[in-house]
Amino acid sequence: MQAVDGFGHGRQGGEAEPLGNTPVLEQDSPDAPSLFTAEAMLGLSRRSKGLAACRAPRICVLDPDGDLDDYLRGRGELAVDANWGCFHTRLSVYAGGGREFGIIARAIGAAFSVLLAEQLFASGCEFLISLSSAGQLVDLGAPPYFVVIDRALRGEGTSYHYLRPSRFVDADRGLLDRMVPALRRTGVAVHVGASWTTDAPFRETAAMVAARRAEGMLTVEMEAAGVYAFAAATGVPVLCLAQVTNRVNCAPGDFAKGLAEGAEAALELIGAAAAAWAVDPVAPSADVLPAAARG
């Protein structure tokens, strides 16, 4: 039998079922505590690997493409946190402009990004910036440029584990009010608007892209909806930036990010966001203990 999607196209698979039977929507209350926690996993990892207690930098960046990490590493400006307890990644530390940032490279997709966000906030991070590589849906000029994502269409699965079903998840408006003016003062090309988050970039069909464009989505990326849902559910501050590098259909010149693969422009924005944050940092919604006091 063929399952039929929302655009009437059949795809090989089981017979189409009512939406209520969709497993990703069968979540317990978002307030129900999880048996598996980031704190417990990090504590176990540190004990099993003989790692010392550590605390992540207050400001951290998820760098899905890894270009920021590669650029700073090539300049010899990154130090590796040898006691980072995550099983899957390396946490690098950059000190620039008088501020310290933690950077995790190649955190691709909402599921992986939220897995890492959980661990970063459990380790003392207080403000997270997610830097997605994104496709252009509405022509705001020739790429590359950046979009501050103010809401994300939930076309992935991770967000439904943190929030009840809805079409969009919004960024924190108070945080955006502080960040957007600071980012625009950098002179880097920055727009503000909605993004479509998908788990399946190779299913961005013409009909789907047209529908998302008609709905006002400026970009398509793979992280924002999940990360913003995590932020909304836990009360932590997160800013999602989309680095628009392509026109979705791989036209000539797509994926060119400009000078230093866009790393210098990204650093300007991250620095501006960090400065705006430092003026009046908002404490996490729950106490964050040093690693030595957890797990």
> How do the domains of the chain map onto residue ranges?
37-278
Q: How many CB atoms lie within 10 A of CB 290?
A: 11
Tokens 């620039």 found at = 96
State residue 284's pLDDT score: 42
The pLDDT tens digits for 115-156 are: 999 999 999 999 999 999 999 999 998 889 999 999 999 999
Among 35, 45, 176, 226, residue whose Cα is nearest residue 123: 45
The fraction of the chain above a pLDDT of 90, given in percent, is: 70
Between 245 and 63, residue with greater pLDDT: 63
CATH code assigned to 37-278:
3.40.50.1580
pTM of the predicted protein model: 0.86
d(CA 221, CA 196): 6
Burial 201-234 (b: 16+ CB within 10 A, else e): eeebeeebbeebbeeebbbbbbbbbbbbbbbbbb
CB 37 within 8 A of CB 228: no
118 vs 23, more confident: 118
DSSP string across 164-222: ---SEEEPPHHHHHHHHHHHHTT-S-EEEEEEEEES-GGG--HHHHHHHHHTTEEEEES
Give all strands (DSSP E) within 5-119, no chain letters. Answer: 10-12, 59-63, 79-80, 92-96, 99-105
Looking up tokens 């009512």, which residue turns up?
A: 18
**pLDDT band of 198, cuts 50, 70, 90:** very high
Alpha-carbon distance 90 to 12, whole Å? 39
- One-letter amino acid at 123 equals S
Which residues share a beta bridge with 105? 63
pLDDT score recorded for residue 15: 64
Residue 44 has a CB neighbour count (10 Å cut-off) of 13
Q: Quick: pLDDT tens for 200-233.
A: 999 999 999 999 999 999 999 999 999 999 999 9
Top pLDDT among 19 and 179 is at 179
Q: Is the dihedral of CA 101, 105, 110, 114 positive or negative?
A: negative
pLDDT of residue 248: 75
Q: Point out which residues pair with 59 in neighbouring strands.
A: 101, 127
Per-residue pLDDT at 84 exceeds 90: yes
Task: Name the nearest CA neighbour of 225 among 168, 145, 280, 291.
Answer: 168
270 conformational bin, left if phi > 0, alpha if psi -120 to 50, beta if neither: alpha
d(CA 1, CA 16): 9
Q: What is the pLDDT confidence band of residue 28, given thresholds at 50, 70 and 90?
A: confident
Q: What is the pLDDT of residue 179?
A: 97
